[in-house]
Structure 1
Amino acid sequence: MQLTFQIKRFNELSLTELYFVLQLRSEVFVVEQNCVYQDIDGKDEKAIHLIGTFNNEIVAYVRIFKPGDYFEAASIGRVVVKQAYRDRKWGYDLMQEAIEVTKTVLNETNITISAQLYLKKFYENLGFVQTSEMYLEDDIPHIEMKKS
């Protein structure tokens, strides 16, 4: 079985969807990565939310921004797959869908991301190239990467 994707603007998210998206982000970015940071950053209202569900459970998610809302180019962030499902390689499906949404919904092909350094190879396999030196974001090594 595969993921089912939904594209939603902030005001289209149900309270239940928003709750489970925030729960998933917190589960991975705060608890699993042991990183205290402000996930609810005031940018969700501007984002396109791509939600991946499996058996009616939200198990994958990204947010997508038009140029100027996060980086100068369009951007994809908060890329997350629930830990129990990572062995299915759904991160690639999620990112390929996010790249496609960026093209079709935003009509943009230039994409910038702030990638965790350990995921460099993953993003390179999706066509991204490193465009910065390593920097710390919330005490986690990151690099800027771009795809055109």
Structure 2
Amino acid sequence: MLNQFETIIEPFAALSLIQLQQIMQLRQQVFMLEQHSLYLDADNNDVNATHVMVYDGAKLAAYARIVPPHLSIPHAQIGRVVVASAYRGQNLGTEVFQAALDTAQRQFPQLDVVIAAQTPLQAWYQRFGFVSEGEVFDDGGVEHVKMRLVHTA
């Protein structure tokens, strides 16, 4: 039987308490427990972000967030891209990331989109048109590199 996935895109204020709990649980499970990456995950960016969720029934299978530009960041950002371990290998990373990218480009059509990619995933993000810039940096104990998708008119 094939899974029937549903993509839901909501601003923070529209998230239910159950959705918020599922998001935090998934991010902690993968980033903190699996990847041993220690940082303040529940940062101030969640409140202003658009949240992209892929559900399998009532289960959150994949997630990403879009952070709008603000005073010191003149571009849109996509981050916290994550797929639950039970759903890996089903192309949900591509599905959730493409939905986040499409949404970011609709919300901010004149802006570049920037990500902080885990270095092993650089080639995967390049498939979406992202280009690496700058040096590799440590983010919570995991090597990342800044990547940019330049706005084209």
TM-score range, shorter chain: over 0.9
| 2:24 counterpart of 1:48 | no
Q: Calculate the TM-score normalised by the size of structure 2.
A: 0.90
Compared with structure 1, are the counterparts of its residues 46 and 127 closer, same or farther at alpha carbon in structure 2 (3 Å cutoff)? same
Aligned residues of 1:102 and 1:109 also touching (Cα < 8 A): no
**Bigger shift: 64-73 or 29-38?**
64-73
Q: Report the AA paired with residue 35 of structure 2.
A: Q
Residue number in structure 2 paired with 1:24 = 26
- 1:32-81 per-position Cα deviation (integer Å, ceiling 9, x unaligned): 10122211112110101111101221111111012227732111000001
Detail structure 1 runs of 4+ shifted over 4 Å in the superposition.
none
Aligned to 1:107: 109
Q: 1:116 to 1:17 in 2, by over 3 A?
A: same
Mark the runs of 5 or more structure 1 residues left unpaired by the alignment.
none
What does residue 124 of structure 1 align with? 126
Aligned residue-pair number = 148
Cα offsets for 1:60-106 (capped at 9, x unmatched): 11110122277321110000011111111211111111111112233
Aligned to 1:7: 9
Aligned-residue sequence identity (percent) comes to 33
Runs of 5+ in structure 2 lacking a partner?
Answer: none
Q: TM-score, normalised by structure 1?
A: 0.93
Q: Structure 1: how far apart are the matches of 2:111 and 2:123?
A: 20
Is the CA contact 2:38–2:141 (under 8 Å) kept in the aligned structure 1?
no
Q: Which moved more, 1:107-116 or 1:50-59?
A: 107-116
Q: Distance in 1 between matches of 2:86 and 2:137?
A: 29
| In 1, Cα distance between equivalents of 2:112 and 2:4 | 27
Give me the CA root mean square deviation.
Answer: 1.5
